[in-house]
Structure 1
């Protein structure tokens, strides 16, 4: 808790604070500061920040800083995905899996193109089982599993 307070103080005292970084600190500082984090993420997302849209989507998905809203979560996460945020692509693929298989596959493939480990692993399973509109292929499944294993060792920093 003391570290969280120090991080919060540093983020708030920064002369030119990065709004998204500041909002991440507020989001993680606890329930009391999450509504402010949501507001800051919305501001930054409205100005074109993919990471801010991603975190805002997560906040709506998980009911952090306000009520849970799966429709708003999907909208913000898909906006983040359109702005190139790989974890958002992966989450959108999972949110759409039961309702829009083609869009889900599109976002899973996009996340795989960015070598997002969890997406590569999920596509490996989908290929092995012939799910999500992918043709069953043990050979392709093994290739994606190898790529996922490699990508785990080269994970980019969080957005």
Structure 2
């Protein structure tokens, strides 16, 4: 409880309008993790930072919409924010968008999975390995390529980037 009060005090002590999008995103992440009472404010701050061009803010906002954190669950809103984050180069967003689109738009799903693979996102490399082994998602069955992507995924797991 004291942590949440401290986090709220820190947020209100800093003028949000003067903060760069990355500072607002960091404040929003702290609020999101502080508990359900502060999640609506986190959602608003993420939206502000995403509007200022922050890919990570759009990513976290998409997750909040997807999971109903800080407001109602909204699958269409989640996809919109996550795809915006993906367009801004956030690899985990690319991976989630690929999975959200897998049943409805295979070509777009494959595009985002390939984009996440290009950034060496481990889960994307692993998923592409499986898709190649099984000939799914529009990929031709290719055991050799599947093995290569599995090796790349294993390597990437050891060199994982920080969270956005």
Q: TM-score range by the shorter chain?
A: over 0.9
What is residue 108 of structure 2 aligned with on the other side?
Answer: 103
Q: Deviations for 1:90-142, whole angstroms, at most 9, x for unmatched residues?
A: 00000000000000000000000000000000000000000000000110000
What is residue 8 of structure 1 aligned with on the other side?
Answer: 7
CA contact (8 A) 2:62 2:78 kept: yes
- Could you tell me the TM-score, scaled by structure 1's length? 0.94
- Distance across 1 between alignment mates of 2:142 and 2:105: 22
Q: Please report how far the alpha carbon of residue 75 of structure 1 lies from its aligned counterpart in structure 2 after TM superposition.
A: 0.2
The count of residues paired between Structure 1 and Structure 2 equals: 158
Give unpaired runs (5+ residues) of structure 1. Answer: none
What is residue 55 of structure 2 aligned with on the other side?
Answer: 50
- Distance across 2 between alignment mates of 1:128 and 1:27: 38
Q: How does 1:78-97 map to 2 (within 5 A)?
A: 78-97=83-102
Q: Please report how far the alpha carbon of residue 6 of structure 1 lies from its aligned counterpart in structure 2 after TM superposition.
A: 7.8
Distance of aligned partners of 1:21 and 1:143 in 2 relative to their CA distance in 1, 3 Å threshold? same
Q: Please report how far the alpha carbon of residue 5 of structure 1 lies from its aligned counterpart in structure 2 after TM superposition.
A: 3.5
Secondary structure of the corresponding residue to residue 76 of structure 2: helix
- Could you tell me the TM-score, scaled by structure 2's length? 0.91
- Distance across 2 between alignment mates of 1:145 and 1:124: 5
Distance of aligned partners of 1:47 and 1:147 in 2 relative to their CA distance in 1, 3 Å threshold? same
What is residue 149 of structure 1 aligned with on the other side?
Answer: 154
- 4+ runs of 1 displaced by more than 3 Å? 4-7, 13-17
**Match of residue 27, structure 1, among 26, 32, 52:** 32
Q: Please report how far the alpha carbon of residue 42 of structure 1 lies from its aligned counterpart in structure 2 after TM superposition.
A: 0.3
Give unpaired runs (5+ residues) of structure 2. Answer: none
Q: Deviations for 1:12-48, whole angstroms, at most 9, x for unmatched residues?
A: 2568751000000000100000000000000000110
Distance of aligned partners of 1:154 and 1:79 in 2 relative to their CA distance in 1, 3 Å threshold? same
